[in-house]
Amino acid sequence: MERIATYRGRNVTDDDVAVINGMIAAHPDGSRRFISQQVCRAWNWRQPNGRLKDMVCRSLLLLLQSQGWIQLPPAKCKLSNPLANRKGPAPIAIDQRPISCCLNDVVPIRMEQVRRTPKEKLCNSLISQHHYLGYTQPVGEHLKYMAFSQGRPIACLVWSSAPWHIGVRDRFIGWSATARKKNLHLIACQNRFLILPWVQVPHIASYLLALNRGCLSTDWERIYAHPVHLLETFVETGRFKGTCYKADNWVCIGQTTGRGKPGMSTKTVLPRKAVYLYPLRKDFRQRLCQEAAQC
């Protein structure tokens, strides 16, 4: 078998192409979605929650077509690209009276998972208005949280799928390329942490981190059918010192290269960021380094 392409960690051979062409020939009236779903079933190409990797497979099929390996049936309809046409979150006004006190005056704090709930729009809006990076829609598996004190929102935290390759992280874990491919979904990456600017409460950031990580893996398993064993985040050292992560016992293991996604550049094109990790289990390395899919 000759390998002709690698896509999202999957090697595609000339035998695979023959199977795909056979499916297309057997279903001349089938839609591209139908073909991609058939390919996913034939390969047992599924997400960790059991769903078919339909969109990933369709992207692969388009790649193979562009290279002349297959000829897909004509598109039955042309849908607008929701990502290209997506508008930013609409501003939502909330009570902005200052909260300036000690931590004991704002507890108990309720941490609420708001993705796919009516409060998700509020979370997106607050991040868009008040986080220095603004709001971008997370890709892949992700959860969103809001923290409330006495009924008022005080913070937003967003977690998503981990980046494919972070050199210092991968060396810290010590996993092989095969193990990383199988187990990357067991890492959650915090890509937004916003304490609303009118909340001035000493030590609240580390308190919120501890409160959130206490429920994150359980919520992830409830929604995505698998837990997470390791948390990661990236701190732009030109802006922040990572004090709250240190206070919550996260470990700084080094810095990113600043080169962005693999293949994007061989030079530093992005701000270098400190990489912080927090294991949720003592045996996280053993679980992440297994070369069969683990939970």
Summarised one tens digit per residue, pLDDT across range 205-255 is 999 999 999 999 999 999 999 999 999 999 999 999 999 999 999 999 999
| CA pseudo-torsion sign 119, 116, 199, 148 | positive
- pLDDT score, position 268: 52
Per-residue model confidence as pLDDT tens digits over 45-61: 888 777 888 888 998 99
Confidence of residue 154 (pLDDT cuts 50, 70, 90): very high
Q: CA Rg, the chain, in Å? A: 22
Domain assignments of the chain as residue spans, ordered by start: 3-66, 99-289
The residue ranges of DSSP E strands in 101-218, in sequence order, are 109-113, 142-149, 152-161, 187-195, 199-200
Q: Which CATH number fits domain 99-289: 2.60.40.650, 3.40.50.300, 2.40.110.10, 3.40.630.30?
A: 3.40.630.30
Residue 120, C-beta contacts closer than 8 angstroms, at least 6 positions apart: 114, 144
* Residue 260: HSE in the Cβ half-sphere, 13 Å Cα cutoff: 8
State the Cα–Cα distance between residues 141 and 161, nearest whole angstrom. Answer: 5
Q: Which residues pair with 200 in a beta bridge?
A: 100
Q: Report d(CA 149, CA 239) in Å as an integer.
A: 27
What is the predicted pLDDT for the residue at 30?
87
pLDDT above 70 (res 19): yes
Which residue, 33, 32, 37, is CA-closest to 53? 37
| Element containing residue 22 per DSSP (H, E) | helix 14-26
Longest dimension (CA), the chain: 70
Taking a C-beta distance cutoff of 8 angstroms, is the pair 220, 226 a contact?
Answer: yes
Instruction: For residue 263, name the pLDDT band (cuts at 50, 70, 90).
Output: very low
pLDDT of residue 46: 86
pTM: 0.75
In whole angstroms, give the CA distance from residue 133 to residue 94. Answer: 20
- Residues with Cβ < 8 Å from 215, sequence gap 6 or more? 111, 113
Q: In degrees rounded to 5, what are phi and psi of residue 57?
A: -65, -40
